A and B are shown apart, each in its own frame.
Chain A
């Protein structure tokens, strides 16, 4: 498998009339993790969507090598189906999801429960199961810790650490602190345009 790579050069993002950030460059190789911090509305989610190729940047370019997985506020699971059936739609596209992963995420007992009855934390863990099943090399995680209890936060940190240790790339946008060995930090506020430019 080719080594993954995620690079951005001179990115700028405009939403409506507002310039959110500009002159943002980053470069990540396999085995590296980056934590993007910043308060609400600073452009963390937009940055993730630009890096995922789902949003065109206002300026600059993105280079991405390796399969990419996205975890954001949307679940992408059919609400009316039991969790197991909803996840199996993606495992038909991605390859089977390991039972060990489901057990680790604490979902093994919930497979018969319709997705719409899951709690906030359980929904987040279901999304993580979809992410794990994809076995992608580049993980783009948008607020992965929202709604999770302390044990689940530690579990996510362990999952990301394993992914990075296995040669993957992780880019995490979160306003919450994350503990990971060798985690780099990017403060998105540093790339906000000066006030007079608004």
Chain B
């Protein structure tokens, strides 16, 4: 089996929801909890819920993407995995690229599934739901990429790294949110296309940014 597949299988076994004693389910449950709590907080006015529900789904998706960040890279650096990969000539860029795929697979498709019950809770109609789902498909790879870049930059910090990475992700994710959630208001494909473009750029730079950050952390 080649290196890429071996790494990907290990990552998926760690990050897919339900793996590794269940805390991988937290982002998904958190996302559903926000969708459930929102109608309680603003009241059961269907017009208000339908008008704001898509935006709430986007905010919930962004915050849910932050939850797994402290587990993404730090345990492997502390346990010496990156040292061992380096000695075997496995580039950090390859490890980060594989991890990006695994990280996205572990929350992107599942958030899109969870958006179905969430849209029912928020009273979103079918047309809006379609825009939300397409937007999430275009935007979640970008959220995964931002999360992984931030996780790699904060990987050398002992303690407090988790909270800091959450704070750092939020401003960087604003463009994805603006275009992703903005596509709801415009009802058009333009916003989704822009979200997809941002995601592609982020996904393309993540292996290199992440690899460089991990090498720098190892020197520390």
Contact = CB atoms under 8 A, between A and B. Distances in A.
A72 B3 CA distance: 23
B72 to A, nearest CB: 15
A89 B83 contact: no
Given A54-B218, A56-B219, A68 B79 contact: no
A93 B3 contact: yes
Nearest to B218: A54
A75 B79 contact: yes
B10 A54 contact: no
Nearest to B80: A74
B10 A89 contact: yes
A76 B219 CA distance: 18
Contact of B6 (A70, A77, A92): A92
Contact of B86 (A54, A93, A134): A54
B88 A70 contact: no
Given A53-B86, A93-B3, A76 B80 contact: yes
A54 B88 contact: no
Nearest to A80: B20
A70 B14 CA distance: 25
A183 interface: no
Nearest to A77: B79
B219 A55 contact: yes
Interface residues of A, number: 24
Contacts of A94: 88
Contacts of A93: 3, 6, 88, 90
Interface string A47-77: 0000011111000000000001110101111
B83 A54 contact: yes
Contact of A76 (B20, B84, B90): B84
Contacts of A69: 87
Interface in B80-104: 80-81, 83-84, 86-88, 90
Interface string A82-124: 0000000110111000000000000000000000000000000
Q: State the main secondary structure of chain B at its contact with A.
A: helix
Given A52-B87, A74-B83, A77-B79, 18 more contacts: A53-B86, A54-B83, A54-B218, A68-B87, A70-B84, A70-B87, A72-B83, A74-B79, A75-B79, A75-B80, A76-B79, A76-B80, A76-B84, A89-B10, A92-B6, A93-B90, A134-B88, A136-B87
3 closest A-B pairs by CB:
A74-B80, A76-B80, A92-B6
Contacts of A75: 79-80
B189 interface: no
A74 B80 CA distance: 5
Interface string B61-81: 000000000000000001111
A68 B81 CA distance: 15
A70 B79 contact: no
A198 to B, nearest CB: 22
A74 B86 CA distance: 14
